Amino acid sequence: MAIFSNNIQQGDPLQQPGETSQDVSGGPVFTGLSGNEMYCLNLLGFRPGNLIVGNSVFALGFFGGITSNVRTAVGGEISQITTMIAEGRRLSLERFNGELNSSGAKAATGVTSELIFHPGNVEFLSVGSVIYPTNNAMEQFSFTSSSDGQELYCQVDAGYTPLAFVFGNVAYSIGIARGMLGNLKELVKGEVTQFSEIFNKTRNLALQRIIDEAKSKNANSVVGIRTTILPVGLTGIQEMVMIGTASFNPNIKAIADSVGGVITSDLTAEETWNVTKLGYVPLKLVLGTSVFSLGFAGGVKASFRNLVKGEVKVLSELIYEAREKSLARVREQAAEVGADDVLGIKTYIYNVGNGVIEFLAIGTAVKRMEGVNTQREQLPPQAIIRDKDTFINVAEMSYGVNLESQRP
């Protein structure tokens, strides 16, 4: 396999002053790429093409019909909803790829997979920008990537050749869990191990599915994974979705094989470049969750009766223990794959209801490896400059609410 990164240009722009980018039809290009992205893609050997879209619209009634049949479920994944959402996402991506083929191009960057709720319907939307090769060496590469132009440059310079946009998802019902908790009249403080097991299994399903999709693309890595938890309308169901770019890096084959064939990482593109420069390779996105009762059915509630001010020590201890349990599960997963470190750990806390919380920890396990390095000694400034929003709407949207962007 030819290696994308071997073709990175070392300086001079490939499009000369006075040249213009045009669509295959001869008209001007309408792209979603920023100036910084265009600069970085130019260094890779690409010029901008048009912004393209693929979509699919489902009636929300379909979701309501399914949820009415799972009210007695005991928790965990609602597989019918997972399948339906995955189908909508895939249909929109298929139509996006159809538009890509019609454009005469083989590559697109900044690809998204969004859910937009319209009155009575949900739209699955895929948007991205076409890019065209500027030299013969780039003609052979065909890919779609969730990374924007700047992120793509960093990943390619670190040795990751993009292959395809991939996602993994799981739908589950918080409402059902709350109903179960309501039946536990004598719930006492401490970890609710049944729910911890359910939530850990559910959270890891999305990761396994993005791995499986990457394998189907003959990739040995998924980089730049972004995890989003969002409500599915007003159904009481939430979806956890991971999106990323399935890639191939010949330098990490041995390490990828040691973790089942595909490494996964939620490090940013810049972090991926930096750790590669330091001689580290991502192994696995690791996550651990613990579900704890704060004991409101028991003695904790009573501790508030005479509270005037100061620390609620028993709650401090419980939340501390929940955090430690989640981090312990992250450490266990990292040890299983032989990691040297876990980077970029982020922690989140969610109110499940009835005095019960979920504590989630997520990060990327990495390992030092001889022989890995970046193509450049330094990234160009355009690869790390963050674009600024120049259109800001703080008014409430009256139609087409995009819940994908409402990250926890």
Q: Is 78 within a domain?
A: yes
Give the model's pLDDT for residue 395: 79
Domain-embedded: residue 244: yes
* Of 195, 194, 204, nearest in space to 170 by CA: 204
Question: Per residue in 330-365, pLDDT tens?
Answer: 999 999 999 999 999 999 998 877 778 889 999 999
pLDDT of residue 44: 95
Tell me how many domains the chain contains.
Answer: 1
Q: Is 32's pLDDT higher than 90?
A: yes
Could you tell me if residue 383 is inside a domain? Answer: no
Would you say residue 261 lies in a domain? yes
For the chain, state the CA radius of gyration: 23
Specify the pairing of strand 263-264 against strand 161-173.
unpaired
Give me the mean pLDDT over the 128-153 stretch: 93
Assess contact for 263 and 255: CB atoms under 8 A: yes
The answer to whether residue 197 sits within a structural domain is yes
Q: What is the pLDDT of residues 260-280, one digit of tens each?
A: 999 999 999 999 999 999 999
Q: What is the domain extent for residue 85?
A: 4-13+22-373
Q: Alpha-carbon distance 227 to 2, whole Å?
A: 31
The predicted pLDDT at position 157 comes to 97
> In this prediction, what percent of the chain has a pLDDT beyond 90?
58
Average pLDDT over residues 25-41: 90
Task: Decide if pLDDT at 174 tops 80.
Answer: no
CA distances from 42 to 101, 152, 214, 321, 357 (A): 21, 12, 27, 50, 48
- pLDDT: which is higher, 312 or 133: 133
295 pLDDT higher than 90:
no
Candidate from 69-73, 263-267, 372-376 with smallest mean pLDDT? 69-73
pLDDT band at 401 (very low <50, low <70, confident <90, very high): low
pTM for this prediction: 0.86
Which strands sit side by side in the sheet containing 280-293, from one edge to the other? 190-191, 280-293, 356-368, 341-353
Q: Collect all residues with Cβ–Cβ distance below 8 Å to 13 and sequence separation of at least 6.
A: 39, 42, 43
Average predicted confidence (pLDDT) for the chain = 84
Q: Does residue 384 fall inside a structural domain?
A: no
Which residues pair with residue 291 across a beta bridge?
358
Least confident of 41-45, 148-152, 355-359: 355-359
Q: Strands 190-191 and 46-59, how do they pair?
A: unpaired
User: 95, 126 in Cβ contact below 8 A?
Assistant: yes
% of the chain beyond a pLDDT of 70: 78
Q: Tell me which of 354 and 223 has the higher pLDDT.
A: 223
What tokens appear for 206 in the block? 């999305």
Q: Is 308's pLDDT higher than 70?
A: no
| Integer CA distances (angstroms), 328 to 299, 318, 358, 403, in order | 27, 15, 15, 32
Whether residue 387 is contained in a domain is answered as no
| More confident of the two residues 215 and 3 | 215
Higher pLDDT: 78 or 89? It is: 89
- Asked whether residue 59 is assigned to any structural domain, the reply reads yes
